[in-house]
Amino acid sequence: MNYDTFANLLFSRVRRADVTLALVIINAIIFALLVAMSRNAMQIPSDLLIRAGGNFAPLVQKGELWRLFSALFLHGGLLHVGLNMFALYQAGQVVERLFGRLGFLVIYVGAGLLGNLASLWWKQGSVSVGASGAIFGVYGALLAYLLLQRGSVPGEVFREMRSGTLGFIGYSLFAGFSLPGIDNAAHLGGLAGGMILGLAFAEPVVSSRPVRWLSPRALGGVLVLVALGLTLWQQTPEVVRRYQADSAYQQTLQRFVLDEQELLREQAALMDSLRQRRLTEAAALEVLEHDFLPRWERLINQLSGATAPAPSEWQRHELVAYASTRRDAVKALAQAFETRQMVWVERSRALQVQADNILLQMRLRHSVEAGAR
């Protein structure tokens, strides 16, 4: 078969690669919306990607399975979406004509879902986004077609497609293993999914139908893909309970910080009122004993009863010590008002300094650990 005959057969199957073009446009529109929301085209924040539907293990395992699909249309930055859409447009036009519009769409989505399941299985602690797994599936299907239907492709076209496909796959995987932040699990999962469906669907270009959907080979390929996806899902470590516990601790921590800052502001205002004689010592004592002390006790009890993730247990322990020291400083100040003895004033000041030192040591340790990571 010569080149002209091959090209005519391809274009008789699909005159225009509408599905490929539609996917590129949809991805571009969604990325533009993310940029408008974040006001940063180079790097979309992770929290926005999670809210928009990123592949995040704790939420997927909680029942939000739709994220496996929605993550295919989200990208983390301009370079990410630009390279992906360029690769999709280049390979998609060929693969859509080889497998037909429906066949191409099944390959794209099926490989993308398998890629996201592989990403979920490999790493559960970060959000994964992008069409890379699906695009690797497109290249995998093209490679499978070249292997299975070599006789349908003219020699020069075969060599050009083979070198381009292998070059893209090889370079992308090498970059994924060499550079941080690239999800090679999704790439490999998508590549495997695309090759499975490509081998299952591939028909000679002279065939009247791009895919014989009810053939044993096509049905078998779909079943293999589903079985592989279910296996990855079942083997993925469960993190939803740990995530829920971590989230509960973070909420407790946020409440603690807000309440602690409010308490310190009110204590400073009380002392100012005393110095300016707008408040009597008796009234101040009433506030200390019946307002400030119970609130410090509640903060201590909240943190003491919280379950912190293992890396943050030291932080919880130190915050309990900090809050307890602040409470003791208030007790000493109340004792000073009752007894009018300076020794209790000095005791209260010393405890406040001790509390400040606990907080300072915590910040230093946190900075050291963050730098080590």
Active site residues: 132, 187
Rounded CA separation 44/57 (Å): 19
| Amino acid identity at 188 | L
Phi, psi (5° rounding) for residue 55?
A: -80, 100
Distance separating the N- and C-terminal Cα atoms of the chain: 58
Taking alpha carbons only, the member of 284, 372, 296 closest to residue 334 is 284
